[in-house]
Amino acid sequence: MRKLEDLQLLIANSVSELKYPAYPAELYEPISYILALGGKRMRPALLLMACDLFGGDVEAALPPALAIEVFHNFTLMHDDIMDNAPLRRGCITVHEKWNQNVGILSGDVMLIEGYKLMMQVRDNILRQVLDIFNATAVGVCEGQQLDMNFESSNNIGIAEYINMIRLKTAVVLGGALKIGALIGEADQKDADLLSVFGEQLGIAFQLQDDILDVYGNPEKFGKQVGGDIISNKKTYLLIKALELVKNEQATDLDNWLAAKDFDPAEKVAAVTEIYNHLNIRQYAENEMQAYAEKAFEALEKINLPEENKQYLRDFADGLLVREY
């Protein structure tokens, strides 16, 4: 089994070798630009990992893995326009560096280029691979739309929230693993189970991200603690708190959410205090644990040598037990 870091490196090198036409420059330069911004290349590495787990040819899985990365960066290019984001990975975004029209049209071409790469699989799995890719791509768009809707909505339930993060983040992990498994000649049942593993793990990972934003050690987490609280982001923690909070504390929380002019540290401390009082961290960890367990249940049912299963368990543990 190849190490995940090695697969990530293989992807990084292959991404840098992707060549696009020189003309029209406004269409193709942004593609090379956004792909060169880096990132962990986790999604395509998972596709290669799945192929490797079933004894498949990792090199043969490279074009579909690159398809996942090109697709992911297409979503970033369009999301950055929609979110009006000035920076992506510390660099100026495409619509700011060129203009918005360039961001729209280059993104469109990236989606098509994603299909071209994804089609580089054996004829006997072409239709199924593309069906998975289509479903994944539609899911990501639905997730993005729901995420935008939630910004201006005040009564989102936990189930709706979980469905949103599933579509926006988790579906693509499940899809990448399933496609990799099929390229590795896994049978249908194992490919499905690996997809469930990825999707449920993805939900658990996103819930952990919500928890870490409030309770993470800033040195280990690498992000500003409390950023979600400051921006009123509808995370699991806030949605659960709004569901449980009562009386004066409900008024307090509403006031903090409505506040326009505030000291960020004071808001983070006050809202965290409300979360603590409502035991929100425990609820979130229980929910995260429930999805992690679903992932591990699927994993146990996959027909793979114990060594390969252990590899997947170690991968999941590494993903989920980030130090708080």
Q: For its own copies, which is the closer residue by CB, 81 or 270? A: 81
Q: Are 314 and 4 in contact (CB under 8 A)?
A: no
Q: How far is the CB of 110 from its own copies (least distance, A)?
A: 10
Per CB under 8 A, 251 contacts its own copies: no
Looking at the chain, list the stretches that DSSP marks H as alpha helix, in order from N- to C-terminal side. 4-17, 25-35, 42-53, 62-82, 94-97, 100-118, 123-151, 158-165, 171-183, 188-215, 218-221, 227-230, 236-244, 247-258, 264-278, 280-301, 306-320
Q: How far is the CB of 120 from its own copies (least distance, A)?
A: 10
Question: What's the alpha-carbon Rg for the chain, to the nearest Å?
Answer: 21
Per CB under 8 A, 289 contacts its own copies: no
| Residue from 3, 127, 189, 277 in contact with its own copies (CB under 8 A) | 127
Per the structure block, which two tokens stand in for 176?
A: 């990448």
Per CB under 8 A, 138 contacts its own copies: yes
Q: How far is the CB of 178 from its own copies (least distance, A)?
A: 17
Which stretch, 49-57, 145-153, 185-193, 316-324, contacts its own copies (CB under 8 A)?
Answer: 145-153
Per CB under 8 A, 146 contacts its own copies: yes
**Which residues 1-40 are close enough to bind its own copies by CB under 8 A?**
24, 26-27
Vertex 324: Cα angle to 252 and 279 (nearest 5): 35
Q: How far is the CB of 289 from its own copies (least distance, A)?
A: 29
Dist. CA 50–CA 47, nearest whole Å: 5
Name which of 292, 311, 222, 230 is nearest 266 in CA terms.
230
Indicate the burial class of 153 (C-beta count within 10 angstroms; 0-12, 13-18, 19 or more).
Answer: exposed
Which stretch, 74-82, 199-207, 243-251, 292-300, contacts its own copies (CB under 8 A)?
Answer: 74-82
Contact positions toward its own copies, by CB under 8 A? 24, 26-27, 78, 81-82, 101-102, 104-105, 107-109, 111-113, 115-116, 119, 123, 126-127, 130-131, 134, 137-138, 141-142, 144-146, 148-149
